[in-house]
Chains A and B, each alone.
Chain A
């Protein structure tokens, strides 16, 4: 009996792994199709099976997507837009995360009259649909002179992201014992010293959560990009859409797929590099004092 238990090859086990494997496959198939298609020649795509490996491996799709494909009237590939996205995402992620950390610190450790109400209203920001803010935001950006600029997009994403990042950090800091703050105050530490010397060093897991979440949200955003940016300042998501919709003769699926892969790569990399922190941050309980 015990031997059977130890080997673990009972039918129920096999069933469980089978189901898990199947689920994995279902999730991965689109990615696999995109990847293999991006390395195929147009001829291969037209004649071959969707799931078949390329007969001739080629990176033509990738180079074309990067520097030659037409996104509307211009035909310089997506490279410029790729960097646009970086110029928008990196500052927006960093600023919104730092602001969130700071807000979370104040809302959990320096409560003031009405701070809980303020937090409640901030949470509301998480549920406001993008569409609702489009027009007022456009007007505001216009007034600020930031219409159609990357700076404007950064501003929009920071404002929208702060609700989420504040929620992350506030809930993380609430679990950190107040006695830590009290001890630091008695040691003579002020508001900023406590934040930078005591709380920030404890915040790595939640920083990772906030960075990944914000990076994914902002990099993948399409709506704000298409509304608040135009021409040269557009992010890659908008460029990808333009590329796919620009019809000049035969549809080049390999180029489309390569461009889509390029657009998706940074978020993939972020997940692979920092994913373990994401899980750890989400499951992190209170910090042992």
Chain B
């Protein structure tokens, strides 16, 4: 358990033209679960390797519990890491894999044995202890890799896409287990994933990275409901947010935007008053699928809710919901509809727009327009 501060971390690989990490600042509280999410190649692994000491940083500092560890060797940092490929030592048994780091650190034999057993119990891998990694399934290898990290009881755990090599079902199971484990052990964890659902479900806070720059740092709810910019908004959420360029109009009842369906029918939607400065200008309206649904009696009286009829172009049943696609201002927009009240593609449907949670972006800077 330790507090971790990343202060203006910069990294340029030898021989590379561009900076891979362009000044990352994150404070991670003791016992916090931070997920680091971003598209492939944005520098997530580089940041993890830098924290672990496997890569030297070219600027900034890494501070653990007030101590600057930037110059330390990996072995002196007391940080453990779980790799995407598991990186189990192929010639050693599971027991030896877990014990390797303990033995190297000079732990007495009897204590090593106890520690291996504790970890094996914790992860339910006791029956596998004498097997070679190549005899294990992917999920079992993953557990062993976690066991190896847990064994030393290090200050900080780093997970670099640990579930990416598992099939979908196992991935969800392991996700739950990692979450349980964290709730039990309350250790500081930095967890890398490119899967935004994994990021949302596991994290206390999420850091969204793009091209080596931190885009947003916040709780899953903050990142989901109030994305700082278009990139974060489009990256988080599945199906993703739809973006529609609209002009802000003023009417007797307040500010509004007008959307046009594929049949030319128009619908004026109320927008919040903080857009006052944008009247007459164009903004990007960000609307999530769940903001458009079937009419709901209870919401009908809310001034920020509006209804209209639109033609459904495509339906995609997901089980609990049906994702319906409608066209608004020439753009495909996804709506999350209740599967109990089916709509057919090609037909018209009465849809309710809940404008309380939609967000607006400045089309120039791509930043979210904040309420004043």
CB within 8 Å of B: which residues of A? 113, 177, 179-180, 182-190, 193, 197-198, 201-202, 287-289
Between B80, B81, B152, the greatest number of chain A beta carbons within 10 A of the residue's beta carbon is seen for B81
Interface presence of B94 (CB below 8 A): no
Interface presence of B310 (CB below 8 A): no
Q: Which residues of A contact B12 (CB under 8 A)?
A: none
Q: Is the CB of A188 within 8 A of B87?
A: no
The one of A188, A190, A287 that contacts B101, using a Cβ cutoff of 8 Å: A188
Q: Which residues of B contact A188 (CB under 8 A)?
A: 75, 101, 104-105
Q: Which residues of B contact A180 (CB under 8 A)?
A: 87, 89
Q: Is the CB of A186 within 8 A of B79?
A: yes
CA distance A180 to B133 in the complex (A): 13
Interface presence of B243 (CB below 8 A): no
Q: Is the CB of B89 within 8 A of A198?
A: yes
Interface presence of B14 (CB below 8 A): yes
Q: Contact size class for B?
A: 20 to 34
Interface presence of B251 (CB below 8 A): no
Q: Is the CB of B85 within 8 A of A179?
A: yes
Q: Is the CB of A289 within 8 A of B75?
A: no
CA distance A190 to B75 in the complex (A): 9
Measured CB to CB, the closest approach of chain A to B152, in angstroms, equals 8
CB within 8 Å of A: which residues of B? 14, 49, 52, 54, 74-75, 79-81, 83-91, 100-101, 104-105, 133-134, 148, 152
Q: Which residues of B contact A179 (CB under 8 A)?
A: 83-87
Q: Is the CB of A289 within 8 A of B49?
A: no
CA distance A189 to B79 in the complex (A): 14
CA distance A193 to B103 in the complex (A): 12
Q: Which residues of B contact A182 (CB under 8 A)?
A: 49, 52, 54, 74, 81, 83, 87
Measured CB to CB, the closest approach of chain B to A177, in angstroms, equals 6
Q: Which residues of A contact B133 (CB under 8 A)?
A: 289
The chain B residue with its CB closest to the CB of A288 is B134
The one of B52, B86, B88, B89 that contacts A186, using a Cβ cutoff of 8 Å: B52
Given A179-B86, A182-B83, 16 more A-B residue pairs with CB atoms under 8 Å apart are: A113-B14, A177-B87, A184-B100, A185-B74, A186-B52, A186-B75, A186-B80, A187-B101, A187-B104, A187-B148, A188-B75, A188-B105, A189-B101, A197-B89, A289-B86, A289-B87
The chain B residue with its CB closest to the CB of A187 is B101
CA distance A193 to B106 in the complex (A): 14
Measured CB to CB, the closest approach of chain B to A192, in angstroms, equals 12
The one of B90, B105, B152 that contacts A289, using a Cβ cutoff of 8 Å: B90
Measured CB to CB, the closest approach of chain B to A100, in angstroms, equals 20
Measured CB to CB, the closest approach of chain A to B56, in angstroms, equals 13
Measured CB to CB, the closest approach of chain B to A150, in angstroms, equals 36
User: Could you give 28 example pairs across A and B, Cβ below 8 Å?
Assistant: A179-B83, A179-B85, A180-B89, A182-B49, A182-B52, A182-B83, A182-B87, A183-B89, A185-B54, A186-B80, A187-B100, A187-B101, A187-B104, A187-B152, A188-B75, A188-B101, A188-B104, A189-B100, A189-B101, A193-B104, A197-B89, A201-B91, A202-B91, A289-B85, A289-B86, A289-B87, A289-B88, A289-B133
